[in-house]
Amino acid sequence: MPLAVVTGCAGFIGSHLVERLLRSGYTVRGIDRRSPAGGDPEARFNLAGALGHPGFELHVGDLLELDLPPILAGADYILHLAARPGVRGGWGDDFDGYVRDNFLATQRLLRACTGTGVRRLVLASTSAVYGAARPPQRERGPTRPLSPYGVTKLAAEHLVRMYGRQHGLPWTILRYFTVYGPRQRPDMAFRRMLADARAGRPVRVYGDGSQVRDFTYVDDVVAATVLAMRQPQAAGKTLNVAGGSPVSLREALAVLGEVIGRPPRVVHVPPTTGEMPVTRADMTRTRECLGWQPRVGLAEGLSRQWTWLQRRLLQEGLLPDWEEDPESRRLGRAGREDPSSVRTGWEEPGWVGPGWEDGRSVGGGWEEPGAAGTGWGEGEGQEHG
């Protein structure tokens, strides 16, 4: 069986990617700084399905401290999703953390990859590298990041290309556009908004709500990442991964209200420094190289995330009013009494999870609450580990 190494395996996207690879017959070694056994609830829930799989091996530790050569030995593919996300951070004392986690950790991983015979390294990058570039954002167009996050992720891209030129490392870079879906971090926009709306709290909106985002559902990101790992045409390419239907925050909130059955109460707060006004990806190159198209629209994706959030709250025992909540009643009392009955994981054949079996349908953990609490935060689809 082919062997894939996933950095950031306990994170939002990384955990979905791990499960998809396991379902597809890969052996997976995951790297994450957070331990499911170490009291981190996000890591525990995110890896619940993978930890029971005989093909999964978890290595807990920091990319700058782990002994990487034994972990990478024999790897066919390396998927580097570990990063520190968020456009709000990095302006002050946190700047060193962004340089450390996004740049120095990437360099150490690349150095360890040299000479291993890996078939391809895939770097998960971000739309934040485009910054002030005029939409639609094209891979060969200008990159003008507006935040330390965008700057350090762009620097990581340059490192990958340099190792490709100087050391023959095969690579593909994917620029994710605002990823959402089940397992978003608690600080990420849609998860925070859904939780606040359900609890009757006002939903925070950074700015006036006119900012536009090319939202991308996590299953679609998983599919594009797996294709980028394997497709010969993707070698040495930088590719956008986006949902293809940009909408404003105001429009997204209207969709969210339809999903939960009532319009959310909104409170406006000052806009975020470094946030891009519009993201709209040109997907021409991605279609040509991967033959990939996004499948999940915003309404369907938010509906799936809403259902997941309800189940997650049931697992945590945080729905004391479940009898009065029709959605919770539909999910059933059994979900509270037996978390495994509502756990998302590879072992559930009917699960609408990290991807479809026919391939139509991916993290580091260093999840620091509040790191990406932006309006829509171009970094919100990124992981860190």
Residues labelled catalytic: 149
Encode burial over 266-284: b for 16+ CB neighbours within 10 A, e otherwise: beeeebbebbbebbbbebe
Q: Name the one residue in this structure whose structure tokens are 């998927």.
A: 79
Which one-letter DSSP state was computed for residue 56? E
Indicate the residue type of 165. R
Alpha-carbon distances, residue 258 vs 264, 280, 354, 376 (angstroms): 10, 24, 24, 19
For residues 247 and 37, what is the distance between their CA atoms, to the nearest angstrom? Answer: 39
The backbone region for 313, taken as left when phi is positive above 0, alpha when psi lies in -120 to 50, beta otherwise, is: alpha
For residues 150 and 264, what is the distance between their CA atoms, to the nearest angstrom? Answer: 31
Tokens of 190: 């849609």
Which one-letter DSSP state was computed for residue 152? H
The alpha-helical segments, DSSP class H, found in the chain are 12-23, 41-46, 68-72, 95-98, 105-113, 148-167, 189-198, 218-230, 249-260, 284-290, 298-316, 326-331, 333-337
Q: Using alpha carbons only, how large is the chain's radius of gyration in Å?
A: 19
Q: Provide the Cα torsion 76, 77, 82, 87; round to 10°.
A: 160
In 3D, which of 347, 380, 362, 371 has the Cα closest to residue 6? 362
In 3D, which of 354, 30, 380 has the Cα closest to residue 221? 354
Would you call 19 helix, strand, or coil by DSSP? helix
Alpha-carbon distances, residue 301 vs 28, 179, 259, 381 (angstroms): 27, 11, 10, 14
